Structure 1
Amino acid sequence: MLTYIQINAAKPREKAWSLSDSQGLLLVIQPNGSKLWRFKYRFLDKQKTLHLGGWPHVSLADARVRRDEAKRKIAEGLDPALEKKRARIAAKYAAANTFQDVAKEWLVKCERDGLAQVTVDKIRWLLAKAYPIIGSIPIAQITPHEALAVLRQVEATGAFESARRMRSVLSRVFRYGVATVRCDKDVAADLRGAIASPKVKHFAAITKPSEVGALLRAIDGYSGHKVTVMAMRLSPHVLLRPGELRQAEWADIDFKEAIWFIPAERMKMRRPHRVPLSRQVIDMLQELHEHTHWWKYLFPALGRPRKAMSENTVNQGLRRLGYTSDHMTAHGFRAMAATLLNERGEWNPDAIERQLAHVDTNQVRRAYARGEYWDERVQMMQSWSDYLDELRDGGKILRPSFPAARRVV
């Protein structure tokens, strides 16, 4: 058996060598001078080694105690090396058990699952408001009262919709905590109905045909940046959400088949979508192609062409044309199209809904309505562009002038 004097006197050699104690306990002396305890044992007829730590941090007496503990586990049918690995994993998770740790881990998972970056950014923004209150608390110890304090803080600013979304985000983090064995319950689930319900606010939109014509003429007369002009000109024709439009890539456009393909990860409902391209839209896309075809995006950001155009660009263009946020928005082009297409009564409402990429909330009805109404949508989108041209040509083109000192998007 080893003694303190033997261990202290052991010197490093060119290669690692060892001193034996008893019952499989060894002290390995490394070429760099470090001295490490090892326990040699057999488990299920296999020779194995368990690392017990380094001397002098782990004394000879401590090494023997650890050896004896390992032998007891073997006697119980447990592999001590495997048990040590499991304990290390458990300790790692236990160390990362605060709400903020779990939330950040969940966000990484969201990104890996393909959640749109803009959605991830909004979630991250909401969570940043929760961290000062519950971020440092172990997630398993957070009470409904503490989670409610987060919602109350957001609600107090009058942002009722943000408070509603915050409850949903908190709930998803807690459910992830349950799935990863960091907590036992989603305490945010109990808070449904605890905060004020947000009032539904519809996006401002122009739906009167004469006013639509005036808007289209104003857009044609807009003297801003070419990319902004083309985004504003295309918006009323394609029925896309502003984010789907601004993040469009040239790889999505099939000029030959006259189809605009949008992958599921860039759609709100996470379903791939197709837009039939009218002759007018193809002409506009070809015009835009001359200006931005060397970049990934149809609408690259001004000054940062490797990024997509800002989400506020079209809205800013509308403001510079004199349209306030209470009168017209970038999202309002969809409401404009939905209203006028339905009012004209020429098209199946389901075809209009499909083109707007809406998902029927009635699951039974959705299961039977499997058709995409593609042929009708092709005709509808051409007819819609023709109708917009008629409205636009109903008057003179407006050419607004802007102060020279004012920077145009």
Structure 2
Amino acid sequence: MALKELQIRNIRPTDKVTQCTDERGLYLEVHPNGSKLWRYKYRYMGKQKRLALGRYPDVGLAEARKRRDDARRQLEAGTDPLAERKHEKLVAVFKAANTFGEIAKEYIDKQVAQGQADTTTQKANWLLEQLEPIAARPVADLKPIDVLAALKRIEAKGKYETARRCRSFAGRVFRYAVATGRGESDPSSILRGALVVPKVKHHAAILDPKQMGELLRAIDAYTGHAITRLAMQVSPHVMARPGELRMAEWSEFDLENAVWKIPAERMKMRRPP
């Protein structure tokens, strides 16, 4: 006989677990502590199984029947509702552990392990902070519109170059997610023309030979740290970036032939984002 709401409210617990049957496999399991749990009993592939449908009164009679009917439809389609629920929970756990932020941190750690410079690592972490609106979202769920909204939020502050760098960084994270089997595509790749292109600002340069001589003499007269003075004196002769000069190793120098060879791998790893 089908249960009624009034009947359910008046059920009193006993010293053992009891079952109050509704219909079509649905029943209410009443525990000695007073808790009432909805269960759905069914058979799949010849085996008796049961599916938890919620706690009464959080799940009322009508909702319990609806959930039972949903499970029955899964059975009719050849799917085990209990196995399907376990699968959904695993997918939810997988997605929660594979957010954009978590994968970005993993990507940065990988770059550090490969020898990335501290300054580049700091920049990458800073860019990740700017992308905070999507950091907690599962990578697999992010769409181009989600990434664009985060970038436009940065643009709204007038930080056009930052937005461009964030798009580039996000692209690397998405591609890393794809390579490690946790993403399907790079939603940032189609946003190249969607951002404001920052106006190039040219910095002043010394073009007058006399002024250049004054600069070189000022470097020679520098009274600060000797290593700093030597680095500045070497810099005009090699035209390298400050980071390359600072991180140079003796094994890279051929003093006999006056040649400095910077490994291509190290140059690539130190390239700013």
Asked if TM exceeds 0.5, the reply is yes
Q: Deviations over 1:20-49 (max 9, x none)?
A: 222221211123321110001111222221
CA contact (8 A) 2:171 2:186 kept: no
CA contact (8 A) 1:144 1:188 kept: no
Partner of 1:107: 104
Distance 1:52 1:334, change over 3 A: closer
CA contact (8 A) 1:12 1:30 kept: yes
CA contact (8 A) 1:147 1:187 kept: no
Shift in Å, 1:188: 4.1
Higher RCO (C-alpha under 8 Å, 6+ residues apart): 1
> Which residue type is aligned with residue 344 of structure 1?
E
Partner of 2:84: 83
Q: Secondary structure of 1:54's match?
A: strand
Partner of 1:47: 48
CA contact (8 A) 1:19 1:28 kept: yes
The 5 A counterparts of 1:185-334 are 185-188=186-189, 190-191=191-192, 319-321=224-226, 323=228, 326-327=232-233, 332=245
Partner Cα separation in structure 2 for residue 190 and residue 48 of structure 1 = 49
CA contact (8 A) 2:53 2:64 kept: yes
Partner Cα separation in structure 2 for residue 198 and residue 73 of structure 1 = 62
> Which residue type is aligned with residue 74 of structure 1?
L
Instruction: Let me know the Cα RMSD of the aligned residues.
Output: 4.7
Partner Cα separation in structure 1 for residue 45 and residue 121 of structure 2 = 48
> Which residue type is aligned with residue 20 of structure 1?
T
Shift in Å, 1:175: 3.8
The match for 2:146 among 142, 145, 148 is 142
Partner Cα separation in structure 2 for residue 123 and residue 333 of structure 1 = 20
Partner of 2:67: 66
Partner Cα separation in structure 2 for residue 82 and residue 113 of structure 1 = 36
Instruction: Name structure 2 gaps, 5 residues minimum.
Output: 203-219, 235-241, 268-273
State the percentage of identical aligned residues. Answer: 30
The match for 1:342 among 232, 244, 254 is 254
Shift in Å, 1:332: 2.8
CA contact (8 A) 2:13 2:34 kept: yes
Distance 1:334 1:7, change over 3 A: closer
> Which residue type is aligned with residue 106 of structure 2?
K
> Which residue type is aligned with residue 126 of structure 2?
W
CA contact (8 A) 1:42 1:48 kept: yes
The match for 2:159 among 143, 147, 153 is 153
What TM-score, normalized to structure 1?
Answer: 0.42
Shift in Å, 1:167: 3.6
CA contact (8 A) 2:39 2:50 kept: yes
Q: Deviations over 1:259-315 (max 9, x none)?
A: xxxxxxxxxxxxxxxxxxxxxxxxxxxxxxxxxxxxxxxxxxxxxxxxxxxxxxxxx
Shift in Å, 1:358: 4.6
Distance 1:20 1:136, change over 3 A: closer
Partner Cα separation in structure 1 for residue 27 and residue 168 of structure 2 = 55
Q: Deviations over 1:182-214 (max 9, x none)?
A: x86432465289567899xxxxxxxxxxxxxxx
Shift in Å, 1:16: 2.9
CA contact (8 A) 1:26 1:38 kept: yes
Partner Cα separation in structure 2 for residue 14 and residue 114 of structure 1 = 61
CA contact (8 A) 1:41 1:48 kept: yes
